[in-house]
Amino acid sequence: MHGSPRLHVDLAEAGWQVSQNTVAESMRRQGLVARQVKRRGGLTKQDKSAPTFPDLLKRDFSAQEPNCKWVGDMTEIPTECGKLYLATVIELFSRRLLGAATAQHPDSALAAAAIEMAVAARGGAEAIWREDPAERVIFHTDRGSTYTAKEFRRLCAGLGIRQSEVSPS
């Protein structure tokens, strides 16, 4: 539901001539109140003790070839049955969604499932592996504990993926 300022604008656009205060008073008499939008805190919980990764992208979100730069993020989706978490991996060359996984908890296993799906979409670990470490796929994320967890770091290293993270502001 709209609050009185937005409802006043809607009424004016519909041709009604009424003041915002009159709309507010009418809403008050009827017991109508605007629905409060719930502000959520972000999902990113930093692990201050985890190793940091350099910002290999430096805000350059373009790529000249496939399997060069990937980005990942996690988001919360409210549902009737509770919260659902979605982890994604997008390739910056094609802007294609390579991996997406959902779970009831935003943990490193969810992030791992998304990166494993992305690797499979590109033909497996053998298809993305590069001998030269400087040419390996960059996976850029925020500094959330899901991406700095030991298991996730181990998975990326085993797949030949270089981790990159947003620089602190």
Domains of the chain: 1-37 (no CATH), 69-165 (3.30.420.10)
What would the two tokens of residue 47 be? 């692990």
- Measured in whole angstroms, the distance separating CA 107 from the mean position of its chain's CA atoms is 14
Query: In 3D, which of 76, 121, 123 has the Cα closest to residue 102?
Result: 76
Q: For tokens 């296993």, what's the residue?
A: 109
* pLDDT computed for residue 169 by the predictor: 58
The pLDDT assigned to 151 comes to 93
Percent composition of the chain: helix, strand, coil (DSSP 3-state, to 5): 35, 20, 45
Residue 122: the pLDDT is 94
Dihedral sign, Cα of residue 140, residue 143, residue 144, residue 145: positive
List per-residue pLDDT tens for the chain, 169 residues long. Answer: 578 888 889 899 999 999 999 999 998 999 888 877 766 666 666 666 777 888 899 889 999 999 999 999 999 998 888 899 999 999 999 999 999 999 999 999 999 999 999 999 999 999 898 889 889 999 999 888 889 899 999 999 999 999 998 876 5
Q: Are strands 82-91 and 97-103 parallel, antiparallel or unpaired?
A: antiparallel
Residue 106 contacts residue 43 (beta carbons within 8 Å): yes
Say what the pLDDT of residue 103 is: 95
Q: Which stretches does DSSP call E strand in 9-155?
A: 69-79, 82-91, 97-103, 138-141
